[in-house]
Amino acid sequence: MNLIVDVGNTFVKFAVFEEDNLIWKDAFKLSQFRKEYKLIKKQFPKLKSIIVSSVGRLDDKDVNFLKKNLKVLELDWTTKVPFKNEYQTPRTLGVDRIALVSASVLNFPETNALIIDAGTCITYDFVTQKNAYIGGAISPGLRLRYKTLNNLTANLPLLDTEKPAGLTGNSTESSIHSGVVMGIIKEIDGIIDEYRDKYPDLTVILTGGDAKFLSNQLKNSIFANSNFLLEGLNFILEFNSK
């Protein structure tokens, strides 16, 4: 039984896997890390291994706290992975992107795949049918675009994410919604089209916090999986346990 620890800038996700099956998950503030870990240990006494993926800041003391009782794998660019990494700057490749590519290899082996993670940033990662990771792209996500319009202008308000009523906004608020949301939809569909022109057999996976909001607005067919990153982390842990 494995524990997946995915640390963001503010929140931490815990997930428990029994082999390849996700049986439990939860998210909480980083300040509650030790308290929640103790509760999980009581709830799942058969835990054996942990993988830690930290794109935020997890204190070394917290990592050492995990290591007291269980085997811990700290994911970084040197970790053994189930794909060939052809990224030219592997040291700078985010652990979240490493996990997503691993999940693609697990769920869609020997497939040309584009993984789109719609979160704070939108990341695009391409892996070939020979399980070679080439790279991708990074652009601002939904909330980042809304916040940037507000932060870097004098008069534009900060709005909650909302599906636009139409292409043409007839007020400042509706114009912002159209620009932000339609801009992202056209961006994602456009990038998918570019990849499909080159790889007609392409499989596209959409994941991340905004995946549900965006998925039914895209014209392209996709696989939506909110647990894709967690599955990738578990696969990496299992891959390193062999």
Q: Catalytic amino acids?
A: 96
Helix 33-43 / helix 60-67 crossing angle, nearest 10 deg: 20
Q: Which of 198, 196, 201, 162 is nearest to 180 (CA)?
A: 162
In whole angstroms, give the CA distance from residue 52 to residue 58. 9
C-alpha dihedral, 84 to 87 to 6 to 225, nearest 10°: -70
In whole angstroms, give the CA distance from residue 114 to residue 72. 30
